[in-house]
Amino acid sequence: MRVAFFHPGSAFLPEIDAYISFFKKYPGVETAVIPRQRKVRNFAEIEWHFMGAHFKRDRATVVIHEYASASIPPFAKFKNTLKRHLNCVPDYRVFYNETVRDQFRFRDGVAHGFRGHGVWNYVFPHPDDSEKRYDFIYTGSIDPVRGFDRLLDCFVNGSLKDRSLLVVSKGYERLAERLAGHPNIQFAGPVPYSEIYAYIRQCRYAINFMPDVYPFNRQVSAKFLDYAACSIPVISSKYSWIQDFEQQYGGRYFYLEPDLSNLRWEAVSSFNYGGPDLREWTWEKQMERSGILPFLSRRFPDVFPQPVC
């Protein structure tokens, strides 16, 4: 049996690595990762689409749609409506969280579950004894809609211009060229998810920079969880999701002022940081929460006789 993961190629999808590792537990199950622009027919018994758009399906194939986020501005509601009406109907849906599900308002009765970002359970607890090559790290999207230039300006002209920043992302070539005269800002990536923790541990502080606007302020922060799994002090924008997370799972994080006026070395280096309890945030726990195992067991009982998490 083959499980094929179709993705748009524009987003970071560490969950694909987690899924591939997960399906290795089942004898006879092969996995493949396919960019959506590649045309294939009758390639796999299970097609797993990271949405996106998916208009036509093969009725003989089990189709899973995974929605990592709702649409972003501009015209977010209109985009969600188009996806709801134009995408084909799958056999199962996986949403990042309840907020994402509620934005699409599907009314077709298709079963669904939730699967947030996870961390590898072999990461923690772990002594933070790595050599520190950089003062700060930022991982993830550098899309202008997130206001990333404001953060960069602190390292170009602002209070941290004498401190180093490692940006782990992709599609940064033009930005790196523009900042070539500022050697304190270095770029790396794209980086396989299996290697991201090694980069994080080379840095003294990690930055979780997120605009306090919907849908960003309601989404699980993958980068934050990876930082926390490496026991690195976290500097973060102050927004709804991380405040709720802190209340439920603990930790202590340096919250940025909206104008970044407190992003100063003296302030961040003297703050008393603390890490959260991540036992409920392993990939195994997220797989269990998604409900995908009972679904697959019903469709393919000989291949997936019972959960193997």
Residue range 25-31: average pLDDT?
91
The dihedral of CA 191, 152, 7, 304: what is its sign? positive
Enumerate domains of the chain plus CATH numbers.
2-118+282-299 (3.40.50), 134-279 (3.40.50.2000)
Q: Which residue has the higher pLDDT, 295 or 8?
A: 295
Q: Quick one: which H or E segment has residue 247?
A: helix 240-249
Nearest CA to 172 out of 4, 7, 12, 308 is that of 12
Compute the distance between CA of residue 92 and CA of residue 68 in angstroms, rounded to an integer.
14
Report how far residue 24's alpha carbon sits from residue 6's, in angstroms, rounded to the nearest whole number.
Answer: 18
306 pLDDT band, cuts 50/70/90, is low
The pTM score is 0.79
Query: 262-290: per-residue pLDDT in tens?
Result: 999 999 999 999 999 998 898 888 988 89
**pLDDT surpasses 80 at 96:** yes
Two structure tokens written together for 287? 């797989």
**Mean model confidence pLDDT for the chain:** 88
**Is the CB of residue 210 less than 8 Å from the CB of residue 217?**
yes
pLDDT number for residue 195: 85
Q: pLDDT tens for residues 100-142? A: 898 888 989 999 999 988 887 655 555 555 679 999 999 988 8
pLDDT at 281: 92
Give the integer Cα–Cα distance in Å for 1 and 70: 31
What is the rounded average pLDDT of the residues 163-172?
A: 94
Q: Which of 163, 129, 190, 167 is nearest to 268 (CA)?
A: 163
